[in-house]
Structure formats: C-alpha cells, structure tokens
C-alpha cells in the first residue's frame, strides 16, 4: 500500500464525504465557472491539507469530527486552490500537477477571476455558518502567505538573504497554510481549548518548514532522468543550501556564485557548476540537518496525545514529508 493510502486509512470515510462536500461548495450559476471548477476538482493533488485537518481533529478529540471540521477542510482546500490558480498566473506557468493550468486553458484574466471566486466561496462558507473562529485562522493564513510571497520578491532582487529571513519567508509562504490546517482541525472539535489549538498550529508550522526545505533539496537532487533540475537557480530563488554556502565561502567565491545566478542563470553549464559548488560545500547536508530538526520538533509536540490510529497516521505524514521522492 502506498504511504499516502496508509495515512488515509483512519479517515477514509471522512475523505470520501469531504470530496462530495468540497465539490458542492464550488458550484455556481455561471456555466463557465462550473466547467473550470469541475476541471480543477478532477485534477486534485495528494490532498494533504484536508488530511491534516481530519487527522488532527480526530487525534485531539478521541476520534470525533463534526460539520465544522468538514467546512473547515473545504475552506482550506478552496483557499489553497485559489492560491494555486493565482500562483500559476504570477509564475506564468502552463502546467499544474501534470495537467494544463487554468491560465493556460482559459487565459490570465479568467484565472485571476476564478481564484477570486474560490477565495470568496471559502470565506462565505465560514461566514454563512458562523464559524468565525475558523475564519480568523484562515484569514491570518491568507495574509501571511501574501506577505511571504512579497517578502521573497523583495529580497530575491538583492540575493543577500540571511538564514533568518529565509525562515521567515518559508514560514509565511508555505508553513502557515499547513499550520492553519492543523489548528483548524483542533479548533473545529475543541474550540475552547486554546492551548491545544496553538500546539497544533505550531505542529503544522514545523512540518511546513520541513516540507519547504525538502522542496529546496529537490532542486539539487536528480530528477526522473537522473539530472539535478536547477530550476530555483534559473529563477533566482534563494534556497537554504545556497544561503548556507554563500555565508560560508570566501568573498571571491561568493561574488562568483552571485554573478552566476544574476547574469548566467540561463547558462546550463554554469548552473551545473553552481549546483556542484553547493554540494561540495556542505549546502545539502546542512539543509537536511535543519529539515530533520524541524521534523523532530514537530513529532515531540504530538507525543503527549494518547496513542491512536490518528496519531500514528500523523507521525507517518511527518516522516513522509521529508522522505518523499517528489
């Protein structure tokens, strides 16, 4: 059994019902919108976010979920989908999860409007049902994700990101949504226990940090055809292995690396040389060390909960995040 299927086992019934509810939450009177949302629903990814919501809810409540949990998971997925649709416009990307992206099929104008529509559907789902505590968790996540993206753009121009700024960027950009999934799951079944809700938020944040560092490492490891991709270098993105090496090499080497990224990022041979330089100067091993540190901190936070299939699945999920192959 694939690891994602194993993780899903304790919440199979919930995930099936969720898919139906999620599909219903997207419907519109506008035929074009329905065509596009149908297309989006059918190319779903690993659905890690709703899985975090349900597993967290069941772990902290001894196996309970309620309508708030389903709504919370749907809102998270609506907002996550909205950000992906907008991301593809921002990045001018034509592919998403192996399919054409919305902007590739229906152009940017429609993609932006669809993203806005999904965002408003998500917010209204919470408001119409009076889930204001859940809405607050989600709204904070949306604000932080936007800030993180902008902070990255601002800093990327100068290519002088410190490790602390990098952590702040990935905390906002990636970790904040997984943190929202976990705190939302806990809050949906246990709204008055602020301590547990905060603990689960921190748990999600730590997993999100490890998840992003793993993504950074993919840029330096071999892809399906056995060659490092170097996409982040081509896009002038500052990743942890690169930041570490820039902070621990000679001024002359630093100048060469920055010049390579700024002016020669389309030159395949030069990108390969930068990848080799990062590897040879312990950039990857340092990033892996940090990733494992975040993973271990996350696992410590759920040790106090009673042993259950939900806690075991969350532990599997945390390990999967750093061991996955794509």
pLDDT at residue 228, as a whole number:
56
Is 25 a residue whose pLDDT tops 50? Answer: yes
Alpha helices in the chain (DSSP H): 3-8, 12-25, 31-42, 48-61, 67-90, 102-128, 132-156, 163-170, 176-189, 194-218, 231-234, 240-246, 251-263, 268-280, 283-301, 309-323
Q: Pairing mode, if any, of strands 95-96 and 99-100?
A: antiparallel
Higher pLDDT, 258 or 86: 258
Max alpha carbon distance in the chain (Å)?
Answer: 62
For the stretch 180-200, pLDDT in tens is 999 999 999 988 899 999 999
What are the residues whose beta carbons fall under 8 Å from the beta carbon of 77, sequence distance 6 or more? 22, 47, 49, 50
Q: Bridge-partner residues for 222, per DSSP?
A: 228
Is 95 a residue whose pLDDT tops 70? Answer: no
Average pLDDT of 240-262?
A: 89
pLDDT at residue 53, as a whole number:
94
Is 85 a residue whose pLDDT tops 90? Answer: no
Q: Bridge-partner residues for 96, per DSSP?
A: 99
CB 252 within 8 A of CB 272: no
pLDDT at residue 198, as a whole number:
95
Higher pLDDT, 247 or 1: 247
Average pLDDT of 9-27?
A: 84
Mean pLDDT value across the chain: 85
Is 72 a residue whose pLDDT tops 70? Answer: yes
pTM of the model: 0.87
For the stretch 229-245, pLDDT in tens is 677 777 777 889 999 99
pLDDT at residue 43, as a whole number:
67
User: What is the Cβ-side half-sphere exposure of residue 302, based on CA atoms within 13 angstroms?
Assistant: 32
Is 271 a residue whose pLDDT tops 60? Answer: yes
- Residue 95, helix vs strand vs coil: strand
**Window from 59-73, 257-271, 289-303 with minimum mean pLDDT:** 257-271
pLDDT at residue 42, as a whole number:
66
Q: How confident is the model at residue 224 (pLDDT cuts 50, 70, 90)?
A: very low
Q: How confident is the model at residue 227 (pLDDT cuts 50, 70, 90)?
A: very low
For the stretch 125-183, pLDDT in tens is 899 999 999 999 999 998 999 899 888 888 777 777 889 999 999 999 889 999 999 99
Domains in the chain, ordered, with CATH? Answer: 3-323 (1.10.600.10)
- Give 237-290 as a 3 state SS string: CCCHHHHHHHCCCCHHHHHHHHHHHHHCCCCHHHHHHHHHHHHHCCHHHHHHHH
């Amino acid at each position: 059994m694939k690891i994602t299927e194993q993780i899903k086992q304790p919440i199979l019934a919930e995930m099936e019902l969720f898919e139906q509810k999620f599909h219903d939450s997207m419907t519109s009177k506008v035929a074009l919108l329905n065509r596009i949302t149908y297309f989006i629903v059918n190319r779903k990814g690993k659905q890690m976010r709703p899985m975090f919501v349900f597993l967290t809810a069941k772990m902290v409540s001894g196996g309970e979920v309620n309508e708030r949990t389903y709504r919370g998971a749907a809102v998270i997925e609506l907002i996550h989908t909205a950000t992906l649709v907008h991301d593809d416009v921002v990045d001018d990307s034509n592919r998403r999860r192996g399919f054409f992206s919305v902007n590739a099929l229906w152009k940017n104008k429609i993609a932006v409007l669809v993203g806005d529509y999904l965002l408003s559907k998500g917010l209204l789902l919470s408001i119409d049902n009076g889930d204001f505590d859940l809405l607050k968790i989600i709204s904070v996540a949306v604000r932080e994700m936007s800030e993180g993206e902008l902070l990255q753009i601002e800093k990327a121009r100068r290519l002088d990101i410190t490790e602390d700024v990098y952590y702040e960027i990935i905390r906002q950009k990636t970790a904040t949504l997984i943190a929202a999934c976990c705190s939302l799951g806990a809050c949906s079944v246990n709204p008055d226990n602020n301590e547990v809700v905060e603990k689960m938020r921190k748990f999600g944040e730590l997993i999100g940090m490890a998840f992003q560092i793993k993504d950074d490492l993919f840029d330096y490891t071999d892809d399906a055809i056995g060659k490092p991709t170097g996409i982040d270098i081509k896009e002038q993105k500052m990743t942890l292995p690169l930041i570490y090496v820039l902070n621990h090499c000679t001024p002359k080497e630093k100048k060469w690396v920055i010049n390579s990224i700024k002016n020669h990022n389309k030159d395949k041979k030069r990108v390969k040389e930068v990848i080799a330089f990062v590897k040879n100067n312990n950039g990857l091993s340092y990033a892996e060390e940090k990733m494992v540190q975040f993973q271990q901190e996350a696992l410590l936070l759920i040790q106090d909960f009673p042993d259950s299939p939900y806690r075991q699945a969350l532990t599997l999920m945390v390990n999967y995040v750093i061991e996955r192959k794509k």
